[in-house]
Structure formats: C-alpha cells, structure tokens
Amino acid sequence: MEYRPLGRTGVQVSPLCLGAMMFGPWGNKDTADSIRIIHHALDAGINFIDTADVYSGGASEEIVGQALEARRDDVFLATKFFMPMSEDPNQRGGSRRWIIREVENSLRRLNTDYIDLYQVHRPSPDTDVAETLGALTDLVRQGKVRYIGSSSHSGSQIVEAQWASRARNLERFVTEQPPYSILVRGIEEDILPTAQRHGMGTLTYSPLSGGWLSGRWRKDSASAPASPARPSARFDMSSPANQRKLDIVEDLAQLAEQNGLTLIELAIAFVINHPGVTGAIVGPRTMEQLESYLPAADLKLGADVLDRIDRLVAPGVTINPDDNSYGAHELTAHARRR
C-alpha cells in the first residue's frame, strides 16, 4: 500500500483509514472479532485508525486501545470529541472545560499516552473557535496530542479557524474530515480546494454513501434500512432524490462490471483518486467487509471511467441534500428568521 503525505505535516498515512465506528454495540458486539479485524487491517498495510469518543459510548475507543496494546507506535491514531456523552449539557461541545476533561477520558479508553490527531467532530455556533483552538494548543504543548483537525466544517469555517490560528499564534487544524462519495460530491466545489490552499490533509468519510454504493440497495430490492440510527430522509426510497440515486447505482454497477471491478472498489477508488483527498475512512463491521475494501487502495481509475462517472453525477453535485453534513444550523427555520 502506497502511503501519502498528511497535508504538510510530514506524516505518511495509508490511502485507506480504518474507521472504528462499527466496533462495539453500534455494530460488531464481539470485541475479539473487532480486534481481529483491526489487526488484519494493520497487516494489510493500513497505518491509520480513526474513531471518536461517542462511538458506542466510548466502547469503540476501548476496543481500539486493546487492539493496539502491542502496536501503538505503528499506527497514526485519530479520535474526535464534541458529540454529547451524557445528558449533562457540559459534557459535549468545543469548550475548553470539556476538551480538557474529555481528552483524558479518550486517552484512558485508548490506553495511550498521546493522540496523534485530535479532531473536533462538528463546528459549534455557540463557541468561539479561538477557545477551542486555545484548549487544543495547550494539549499539543503538553504532549497529549500531536496534531489537531476539524470535521464537517464548511469552507468559511475552515478559513475562519486558519485565520484565528495565525492571528493568535495557536495550533492550526491540519486536517478536515468531510463526507465524500460519488453520490455526495458537494465538497469538490469549496471544501477540497479550500483545504488544499491551506495545506490540509482531507480524510473523507462514507465513501459508500451510507451503504448506497455497497450494492445493498438496488432498484429490484429497494427497502429502507431498519436501523433507527440512519436518518429517514436519507433512506426514504419513495423520495425523488433517492429514486435518482437508485438509477445512478444501477449505472455505476454496470460501469464497475465493465471494468472488472466491484461496485465497492469503484466507489472507494473514485474517492481516493481525487488529488485533494488524503485518504478514505472505511468502517467495516465484519472481516468480509474489510476484505472487500482493501483492493481499492491500489486502484487507479482511467480518464474514461472518471468521465463516465462525471456524466452520471456532475462534479460538485450532491444528489440528495440530506446526505450533506453542512448547513444544519444555518438552514433551520430559526436561523432564517422564521
């Protein structure tokens, strides 16, 4: 597996990042099996793992910590904070108070003395970004965190954070983690070029678009997934946007077959073939799923294949706006004066 530079950090990481969201009660409840999957990913050349405090209520971090007990120095380890960890309104967000407390919880669960990349899971309209950056800067200077990053930040929020870092001599976000897939291409218009201009690495999540590009849902067997964790608007098969996605998936499946690929391989290779993408986060629940992802790491898609994909989904277009993670606050009725 050919490694890539993580922005301008000098760190080299694999083009596939092992996402740990499905390890624990949210997905694979068998801890021993989850550890086997992690070890297999490392043996296959993946040197990058991403998790978050909120995944399975902390269980994901604990499983990753157990798996890395004898291999910690071989892995670039990333985790995230921000999402609610209890009903307490102060156990969430980007405040200094919460960051300083929660990093200790993550270090304990991960069974490590340091976190390579500590990321704020979402931007906060209620917290000055300088407060978040200031707390994270202290953690870097204390040696508890090596680098800091953002997730699901808009282009303007990325620029604001970079400006605040320079103006106040604070650590800067060296990565951004946005959603990106053939069906969700909105970041090509603004997020990716903005991150590139600021020398940031981009770690994209959901390259299979929540399972849409895994072959799980096709026109002849379309049904909404039963999991309550999945937003209904994204999987309402009666909506025009999702009907359009089903049509595109059929065409993509044919394109993949014509080129000797699986739909999964085509989808992941598309993401990591973008020059602005450092790596794609893949989140297997089973060993079989991991095995289906690995071949994509070494695939190079030809111009003819990429052109065909562009005709199906134009660059910068997200077929169903509900698949985006941007604008949730800005587009609420309250924010629009209603």
The half-sphere exposure of 247 on its side-chain side, counting CA atoms within 13 A, is 10
Residue 52's SS3 state is: coil
Q: Is 322 exposed, middle or buried (0-12, 13-18, 19+ CB in 10 A)?
A: middle
Catalytic site residue from 55, 180, 293, 326: 55
Is 326 a known active-site residue? no
Q: Which two tokens stand for residue 116?
A: 């390579």
By residue count, the chain amounts to: 338
Number of H helices, E strands in the chain: 11, 10
Using CA atoms, how far residue 305 sits from 16, 189, 336, in Å, is 21, 21, 41
Neighbouring CB atoms inside 10 A of 132's CB total 27
SS (H, E, C) 261-313: CCHHHHHHHHHHCCCCCCEEEECCCCHHHHHHHHHHHHCCCCHHHHHHHHHHC
Catalytic site positions: 55
